[in-house]
A and B are shown apart, each in its own frame.
Chain A
Amino acid sequence: KQEVTQIPAALSVPEGENLVLNCSFTDSAIYNLQWFRQDPGKGLTSLLLIQSSQREQTSGRLNASLDKSSGRSTLYIAASQPGDSATYLCAVDGSSNTGKLIFGQGTTLQVKP
């Protein structure tokens, strides 16, 4: 059974720092991996999607990497801002491409001014 883990559960950094959020998964047979952002009391917003054949994806200050063989993904946030404060979740779609996502518990990020 696929399990997804995100460490740390919470992170607090001063504004301007570069930071890395970690995601690990137990079964390397995945179709893709996605990173989402969730603001308090809101739904999820898709940030980046990495197909299994890809190593990384970039969007603005965000860069996500994928290492299937080691079962790991990282989300790199450059020059963090207070507006980046949110919970970040990673999720994997199994090898059958059904869109059925297995989520990690998330990392809650606070960026202090």
Chain B
Amino acid sequence: NAGVTQTPKFQVLKTGQSMTLQCAQDMNHNSMYWYRQDPGMGLRLIYYSASEGTTDKGEVPNGYNVSRLNKREFSLRLESAAPSQTSVYFCASENLQGNSYGYTFGSGTRLTVV
């Protein structure tokens, strides 16, 4: 099925460990995004990529890095995890061009840092 696929779905890390969250979309969308969702905070943008080869910081980029590997894939890396990064992470993609305008979210990665 077409959409946005995130892996893994769940992860527990120890403080200081590193990991990469993977995201892939098969809708040929140009733009991709990483958000985090915390209770009472709504979703906040971490990083985004307007097109292959470009990335920019969002509202809460500290502690994260991203890679837009190709048009399909956009990964989020935590180099040294901290308890404050315990959250649900959502990847999304969007087609901003033409008459087709759709924001599609993945099902999320639930990350706990202990």
Contact = CB atoms under 8 A, between A and B. Distances in A.
Interface string B27-46: 00001010100001111110
Contact of B45 (A4, A43, A100, A106): A100
Task: Find the residue from A32, A36, A46 having the highest chain B CB count within 10 A.
Answer: A46
B61 interface: no
Interface string A8-44: 0000000000000000000000001010100001111
Contacts, number: 57
Interface residues of B, number: 25
A95 interface: no
Interface residues of A, number: 22
Nearest to A46: B103
B43 A103 contact: yes
Interface of A: 4, 32, 34, 36, 41-46, 49, 89, 91, 97-101, 103-106
